[in-house]
Amino acid sequence: MSYKEQFIKFMVSAGVLTFGDFVTKSGRKTPYFVNTGNYHTGRQAALLGEYYARCIVEHMEAGDIPKDVRVLFGPAYKGIPLCVTTAARLYSDYNMDIAYCFNRKEKKDHGEGGQMVGAKLRDGDKIIVTEDVITAGTAIRETLPLLMAQADVEVCSLIVSVDRMERGQGEKTAIQEIEEEFGIRTYPIVTVREVIDTLYNVPVDGKIVIDDEIRERMENYMQEYCVF
């Protein structure tokens, strides 16, 4: 079993990848949802960091991501544990000691003050952003002004759990729009197509989560919102 297949089944077992009736951040009604807020144990956090770290290293070795990245940034709130556990696994598994930081939703007006926690960003820093999922690209558009307000940094890549392969604000995918607009490439651990191919009529913990009905709903959703 590939690490991508392992990751997909891990998300299902953890209750992070679920199927039913949901509404995305962009307002689309979807038959499946990815909610990394449902991770809640030490084991899950360690495995999650392992998959994110493996994705980063894989793309570093392929030359897609520069090896001199200094900081992982996790947008509040779900990105916070992602950047922390990924940084930990990069160190423990690959001996890569990369700093991390994240933001507060509101600026702190006492103590050290400010909106950022963790590594202090410096001009010239190369940054990887860790997020849970990309649908319409809303989160990264909110994140970039925050980072640029701290220092003249370079956001070189975005790592997400699942690429939903959906249109962004126009007719291209959100990933394509983000790359064209900001020069940032997105690397998902898996795509929604890989999710369907892996889980269709395959039991996870003794249960079929993508049967004929769910698969049809997902395919119909993709025909309406996705770009192939």
CA end-to-end span of the chain: 26
Let me know if 162 is exposed, middle or buried by CB neighbors in 10 A (0-12, 13-18, 19+).
buried
% of the chain beyond a pLDDT of 70: 96
Residue 127 bridge partners (DSSP): 71, 155
User: Is it the case that residue 178 has pLDDT exceeding 60?
Assistant: yes
Q: What's the confidence (pLDDT) of residue 108? A: 56
Of residues 206 and 114, more confidence is placed in: 206
Q: Per the residue annotation, which of 108, 120, 172, 207 is the catalytic one? A: 108
Six-digit token pair at 82? 């992602």
With beta carbons less than 8 A apart as the criterion, state whether 128 and 157 touch: yes
What span, in angstroms and rounded, lies between the C-alpha atoms of 100 and 69?
A: 11
What span, in angstroms and rounded, lies between the C-alpha atoms of 87 and 97?
A: 7
Q: Name residue, tokens 């990309």.
A: 134
User: Is it the case that residue 113 has pLDDT exceeding 70?
Assistant: no
With beta carbons less than 8 A apart as the criterion, state whether 103 and 146 touch: yes
Q: Per the residue annotation, which of 110, 120, 126, 172 is the catalytic one? A: 110
- Please report, for residues 101, 138, 140, 211, 213, the alpha-carbon distance to residue 184 in angstroms, rounded to integers and kept in the order given: 19, 14, 10, 36, 36
pLDDT for 48-73, tens place per residue?
999 999 999 999 999 999 999 999 99
pTM: 0.92
What span, in angstroms and rounded, lies between the C-alpha atoms of 224 and 22?
A: 16
Domain architecture of the chain: domains with CATH? 3-225 (3.40.50.2020)
What span, in angstroms and rounded, lies between the C-alpha atoms of 75 and 145?
A: 12
- 110 has catalytic annotation: yes
Q: What's the confidence (pLDDT) of residue 88? A: 98
Kindly report the backbone phi and psi dihedral angles of residue 108, in degrees, each rounded to the nearest multiple of 5, phi listed first. Answer: -85, 125
